[in-house]
Structure 1
């Protein structure tokens, strides 16, 4: 069997910016002294006059991005998710969201797969925070291909966008000729009839692993990849729920306010079914390797499989 290609979506972010920089001369990149980690350093090398290092000052960086947007630029403000969404929340809300400016926020190192950096840097609250800002598009791509497509879609979209990227390498699952990306649209990556698994980010690949294990038990799981958490593809989720009658959500994020909450909102409104939310269960992470943490918090394929098995019992 051929080895599955793996790449971190933060790498995809940097590569996409370089590619789009040639097409969009108005695209500028801001970073908070983290260009080597966020991978915007590759853009800096290609377009040094369009890369601004704002220092360790994310709040100020968001204000600079807002100002650049008012002058017709397409700014990408880049930092770790903990700082982009957490430290700078007020500036994102008031300086970018409130005037609905054309600022894109590239938030890397999200979730527990930041690993050894520990709980202070493992942002499991950013999706919840960004979902609450009116008019903010929130995306969490599952792999390299989707990450690049999401960055392109963000450039083409008029208005604020929050893009969530990971530190850990994840398998490429969208490498197919019919792949098409659209903001607000999910994708069925595995057909099923007994259960719907709605996943985002790194958990999409892990949900597919879990679906294989469930198949060995005679359970047919449908897996939906949701990159755009806001606006959510409610139609797709409800259609699948009507077919299977049970829904599980999986995310590398708190079960409070993230994908699971968005899915529950949609189903409660239109088609209530039993739902289990898999994610960080109202707790902080800890220091450890990405793989060890995914295993401990039951967010790897085996962990998702085990939780679903218990849910079905």
Structure 2
């Protein structure tokens, strides 16, 4: 179903209910289908210890691609997320490298203690990849994981990743598998935008990368907000505002050296943009880092979701309402400058 239909009474496209779960890709934007599933299936062909588990969400986390390629290493756990995480921990104990997938809300809110007491405390090689992070669904607070980064940042031993696009995901998968210890990765699924290949970018676990430079404002972003930041930077350039963009896909541990260096450039407004509540995510992590190290930018602002239960509705409408669209970002940065 198309995300839009045209009303007879108006030339303006009318959003339909399918826009609640539509791809975040813009019209005509390049995409790759199921990058996580394809990358994991390819890696598993070389590494027989990799297994895939899901809680009745293979199709909606792109793990169905892995299941088709490696049916003997795929485990459907049913609607039992706590069992999913405990089983993944048990497999890791036996030397496997399990990738467990579900929705981010279920991992963060429903299975936290099970991850904490097994994968976290024992530093097990459990890799958790979760769809619908932040405001990537219009189905309301039951499905919108606006607090997952705050929750998982607090867990000792856990690496936390928020990839931007298909390239980021494809390159992150083998590094996540090679990392010794548990990992939580936010997952964009389906038709995922492809943008970072235009910026000579390569994913490195634990590293932030500057994608473009600019003397007026520094935008530090993760996840889909890096894509939005790049779009906003182009809009700002039309107004003679030079915006630098730093992509920070690893939320924990932070690339402190890069962030301190970039935020320490004098005279720039520093903006942190994230698809997450302004409470406890990348913005507060960066702010704390700067304060602890005596780095004082001329001004500091956050572009993030509010500390509230969000509305249900079409994603384009909600992204504009909550000021995380490229146009809203550019407008707010202009006002702050």
Taking structure 1 as the reference length, the TM-score comes to 0.94
Counting only pairs closer than 5 Å after superposition, residues 4-83 of structure 1 correspond to structure 2 as 4-7=29-32, 11-83=34-106
Structure 2, unpaired ranges of 5+: 1-26
Q: Which has the higher helix share?
A: 1
Contact residue 110 and residue 167 of structure 1 kept, 8 A: no
1:277 aligns with 2:302: yes
1:264 equivalent in alignment to 2:287: yes
Instruction: Tell me which residue corresponds to 2:315.
Output: 290
Bigger Rg, structure 1 or 2 = 2
After TM superposition, list the pairs within 5 Å mapping 1:68-147 onto structure 2.
Answer: 68-115=91-138, 117-147=139-169
Secondary structure class of the residue paired with 1:158? coil
Go from structure 1 to structure 2 and tell me whether the alpha carbon gap of 1:178 and 1:215 turns closer, same or farther (over 3 Å shift): closer
Partner of 1:248: 271
Unpaired runs of at least 5, structure 1: none
Does the 8 Å CA contact 2:62/2:190 hold for their aligned counterparts?
no
Match of 1:224 in 2: 246
Aligned to 1:149: 171
- The Cα of 1:180 is off from its aligned counterpart by 2.3
- Partner Cα separation in structure 2 for residue 167 and residue 94 of structure 1: 28
Q: Tell me: CA distance 1:309–1:177, structure 2 relative to 1, closer, same or farther (3 Å).
A: closer
Conservation of the 8 A alpha-carbon contact between 2:89 and 2:118: yes
Query: CA separation in 2, counterparts of 1:69 and 1:154?
Result: 14
Q: Contact 2:264/2:296 (CA < 8 Å) preserved in 1?
A: no
Answering whether residue 324 of structure 2 is matched by residue 299 of structure 1, we say yes
Give the C-alpha shift of residue 110 in structure 1.
1.1
How many residues are paired up? 308
Instruction: Note closer, same or farther for the CA distance 1:168–1:308 as it changes in structure 2 (3 Å cut).
Output: farther
State how far apart, in whole Å, the 2-side matches of 1:42 and 1:63 are: 23
8 Å contact kept, 1:113–1:289: no
**3-state SS of 2:218 partner:** strand
CA contact (8 A) 1:142 1:202 kept: yes
What residue is the counterpart of 2:223 in the other structure? Answer: 201
TM-score w.r.t. structure 2 length?
0.88
Distance 1:282 1:178 in 2: 35
- Once residues 192 and 325 of structure 2 are traced to their aligned partners in structure 1, the CA distance between those partners, rounded to angstroms, is 11
CA pair 168-257 structure 1, distance change in 2 beyond 3 A: farther
Q: Deviations over 1:114-137 (max 9, x none)?
A: 12x222100111111111111111
Once the two structures are superposed, residues 222-265 of structure 1 have per-residue CA deviations (whole angstroms, 9 ceiling, x without a partner) of: 00111101111121111111225321011110011111011111
CA deviation vs aligned residue, 1:187-207 (integer Å, no higher than 9, x gap): 111111111100111111111
Q: Relative to structure 2, which stretch is displaced further, 164-173 or 20-29?
A: 164-173
Rate the CA distance shift 1:34–1:188 in 2: closer, same or farther, 3 A. same
In structure 2, relative to structure 1, the CA distance for the partners of 1:168 and 1:217 (3 Å cut) is farther
Contact 1:113–1:291 (CA under 8 A) maintained in structure 2: no
CA distance in 1, matches of 2:237, 2:32: 27
Greater displacement, 287-296 / 259-268: 287-296
- Contact 2:36 2:189 survives alignment (8 Å): no
Once the two structures are superposed, residues 12-34 of structure 1 have per-residue CA deviations (whole angstroms, 9 ceiling, x without a partner) of 21111111110110000110001
CA distance in 1, matches of 2:86, 2:205: 26
Change (3 A) 1:167 1:287: farther
- Change in 2 beyond 3 A, CA 1:293/1:149: same
**Hey, what's the Cα distance between the residues in 2 that align with 1:47 and 1:241?**
45
For residue 100 of structure 1, give the secondary structure of its aligned residue in structure 2. coil
